Amino acid sequence: MWMIVVILSVLLGVCFYVYKSRRSNLRRIHGEGQGIFITGCDTGFGYDLAKRLDGLGFRVFAGCLNSNGKEAGELARSCSKLLSVVQLDVTKEDQITSAKAYVETVHRNIGCGLWALVNNAGIDCYGDIEFSPTEFYRRVADVNLFGMVHVTKTFLPMIRKSKGRVINNTSVKGRLSLPRISVYGITKYGGENFSDCLRLEMRKFGVKVVIVEPGNFGGVTGILSGSNLNRLKDDKETMWNRADPEVKQVYGRKYLESQFSELERAADTSCRTTTPVIDAFEDAVTLENPRTRYLVHGGRGLFDKCCVYATLNSYLPTAWMDFLVDRWFNSSGVAEIGI
């Protein structure tokens, strides 16, 4: 009998702990007037997040690649006076320094501080390793990885003082290796590692570090459309023109064309709204105890296959994952090799 009492007591204790933990995890901070700096606000996630947090009363500093551009102007007009558009190319040291100086000036005048830094700026690249020039790796890493590192190191003293948080936008492709995304993927894996190291180092200061990993949202963010898609098409021509003659002979032009046709079709399979990702960002900014990682499923089907594979990747042997990825992601263009 006493054994039953002990077991029931333990179960009740566990249930109470889970209940209290869940309630604690759902408590939100009051953000009225607190400073938030977001990079990459010209379009996509950054643009929508700036509007969301402005609506919640935060003082948003929206870093834009072109602060005088049409998108930046629309963002400023659609938000309150608490939002400031800030010129920021994350590859330019002088612009990062100027952005910090501006935030510090606003803080001295009104005492907003800096509660959160959201590293969102990023660019894409697509293509087989043998076709991708080394300069493509440097160009994408300058934005996606070294831009994140430089901006974080610049603003970290302000985040430490507020005991706030750093939120880094990586990708599902920072947890899953796929063919033709090495240029992009290594920057996202790097962003994951940088975030993990930073989280451990900042624990002693009470600073939280959160990672948001969007799945298939490329069609709605603009990264696979408009000027970005045109840049990717230009990259395709550069790849072909600079490829070694032996590589051209082995792969063939039709193979390269088929890869980029697949890329254009990919936009049609992505989620139609950024809302799931913006919800994750909002939780990361406002919850007292946010999750360490937010893997956000996108796509238009029943599931986001990249997110499903990323989850499986944490449990299945590498050989199994290679087989699955090869069957689902690696068949495109094989018939055209050498043509």
Q: Which sequence positions are flagged as catalytic?
A: 184
Strand partners, 213: 295
Give the Cβ contact number of residue 270 at 10 Å.
Answer: 21
Cα distance between residue 190 and residue 236, in whole Å: 25
Q: Which two tokens stand for residue 207?
A: 């600073």
Cα dihedral value 192, 197, 199, 202, nearest 10:
-150
How many CA within 13 A on the CB side of residue 314? 9
Cα distance between residue 267 and residue 126, in whole Å: 14
What are the two backbone dihedrals, phi and then psi, of residue 37, each rounded to the nearest 5 degrees?
Answer: -110, 130
Nearby residues of 303 by Cβ (< 8 Å), 6 or more positions away: 297
Query: Is the separation of the CB atoms in 166 and 156 below 8 Å?
Result: yes
Cα distance between residue 211 and residue 227, in whole Å: 27
3-state secondary structure of 176: coil
Q: Which two tokens stand for residue 12?
A: 């009740």
For CA atoms 270, 271, 272, 277, give the dihedral sign.
negative
